Amino acid sequence: MEKKNQKTTTRRLRIFVKKSLKYFYANLADNEGVLISGRVSLGKRFDKDSQSLADVLVSECKKNKITEIIFDRSGYKYHGYVRKFADTLREQGLKF
């Protein structure tokens, strides 16, 4: 009998983040890894940019009638900009 992985059988989209010293990336992908939407913050204003990135991704999700997602922090600790980004996603109505 074949075992099925819980994450691959769900129909929820995945928002994953990546950060560097200059940029904060946020991408929206489906289960196969196909990128649906990708955004990059420019400059060192991560506080405002992470909120605007979250607003754009939430509008993409609402356009596709998606309310539940998988938040992938890509191994980064859940604090700072990653936490602020995730909190903004939750405030906008996404569940994860």
Whether 2 shows a pLDDT value over 60: the answer reads: no
| Residue (of 95, 86, 85) closest to 48 by Cα position | 85
Residue-level pLDDT at 41? 75
Q: Would you call 81 exposed, middle or buried from its count of C-beta atoms within 10 A (0-12, 13-18, 19+)?
A: middle
Q: For each of the domains in the chain, give its residue range(s) and CATH number, in order of start.
A: 6-91 (3.30.420.100)
| Cα end-to-end distance, the chain, whole Å | 30
Whether 8 shows a pLDDT value over 60: the answer reads: no
DSSP assignment letter at 65: T
In tens, the pLDDT along 32-74 reads: 888 888 878 766 666 667 778 888 888 888 888 888 999 999 8
Q: How many CB atoms lie within 10 A of CB 58?
A: 21
Which of 1 and 27 is assigned the larger pLDDT?
27
Residue 55's contacts (CB-CB under 8 Å, 6 or more residues apart) are: 88, 92
